[in-house]
Amino acid sequence: MAKPPTPTGLRLAMPDADGRTEEKLVFLWDPAPGADRYDLALESGGVDAVQTNVQSGGGITGLHASRDYSARIRAVNGDGASDWSGALPCCTLPPKPGPPRGGETDLTDPVLLVQWDCSVTAQTGDEPQAMLVDLEIKDAAGGLIENRTGLPVTHLFRDAKHGGIRIYRIRLTCPKPRAPDGVNRSDWSTPVTLRKEVFAKLRIPAVRPNDKTPISKFFHRHGLL
């Protein structure tokens, strides 16, 4: 018996729903003949961490959010270990942001204010991150109304469109060459549901300085009560 050959086909389990999160990566590889177990090495910032006895499709947890890694795999049996495979560049997701918050509607100008502050969430350890925010707006039935991308991590969004129920959620994005499509996106935040009422503008007639009419009669005269 001889030591096994180097495993091939090292790859990330995709799509992200299969397990890539802000602190976990899931790897797959093709079996090596004669292998009893596999070791996986993850390198980040010049530091190697070797996980022994890993299984294809198993998750590597305890990682840092939005961090670049290089993964290598080797096969092991009673006669020794294979050479390490070539490095696979990969990265974890950005951290999931908290839900946005709703502001008040100005009765004279129906604008719903939606705000968020992800500046702290976007700080992921010692790696500076150029993160932005995606905003998704849906109606009460879940139909998509609008998608906004490239918004600042701290922002006050003014929704001045039609009234009714709005469902908002946000996610963090940042450019990452090691991400599958070159952009790394967090999970969506918990959605927040807000109601936007539409009011006709209230026009109060001007009061002349010499007008002695009691205020109650003034409002009745102009149909305001």
Instruction: Give me the average pLDDT of each 10-residue run along the chain (225 residues).
Output: 89 70 90 93 84 86 88 93 93 89 61 83 66 92 92 86 82 81 84 72 49 53 49
DSSP 3-state assignment of 203? Answer: coil
Report which DSSP code applies to 63: P
Full-model pTM:
0.70
Give residue limits of the domains in the chain: 8-91, 101-196
| Amino acid 104: pLDDT | 54
| Amino acid 224: pLDDT | 46
Burial of 214 from C-beta contacts in 10 A (0-12 / 13-18 / 19+): exposed
What is the third-level CATH fold of 101-196?
Immunoglobulin-like (2.60.40)
Instruction: List the one residue out of 116, 117, 71 whose CA is nearest residue 92.
Output: 71
Matching CATH number, 8-91, of 2.60.40.10, 3.30.1490.20, 3.30.360.10, 3.90.79.10:
2.60.40.10
Yes or no: say if 7 and 38 are a contact pair by the CB < 8 Å rule: yes
Which helix (H) or strand (E) segment holds residue 216: the answer is helix 215-221
Fold match, 8-91 / 101-196: yes
| Amino acid 77: pLDDT | 93
* Residues contacting 204, CB < 8 A, separation 6+: 222, 224
